[in-house]
Chain A
Amino acid sequence: EPEVTQTPSHQVTQMGQEVILRCVPISNHLYFYWYRQILGQKVEFLVSFYNNEISEKSEIFDDQFSVERPDGSNFTLKIRSTKLEDSAMYFCASTHGTGLREQYFGPGTRLTVT
Chain B
Amino acid sequence: GQQLNQSPQSMFIQEGEDVSMNCTSSSIFNTWLWYKQDPGEGPVLLIALYKAGELTSNGRLTAQFGITRKDSFLNISASIPSDVGIYFCAGDNQFYFGTGTSLTVIP
Chain A residues within CB distance 8 Å of chain B: 4, 33, 35, 42-45, 48, 56, 58-59, 91, 93, 98-108
Contacts and interface: CB of A to CB of B under 8 A. Distances in A.
A92 to B, nearest CB: 8
Interface in B73-94: 88, 90, 93-94
Contact of B33 (A45, A100, A107, A108): A100
A93 B41 CA distance: 12
Among A45, A56, A102, A107: residue with most chain B CB under 10 A: A45
A3 B95 CA distance: 20
Interface of B: 1, 31, 33, 35, 37, 40-45, 48, 88, 90, 93-100
A43 B48 contact: no
A49 B83 CA distance: 32
Contacts of B95: 33, 35, 45, 48, 100
B42 A107 contact: yes
B41 A43 contact: no
Consensus secondary structure, chain A interface: loop
Contacts of B99: 42
Contact of A58 (B1, B37, B45, B93): B1
A4 B40 CA distance: 15
A16 B15 CA distance: 48
A105 B93 contact: no
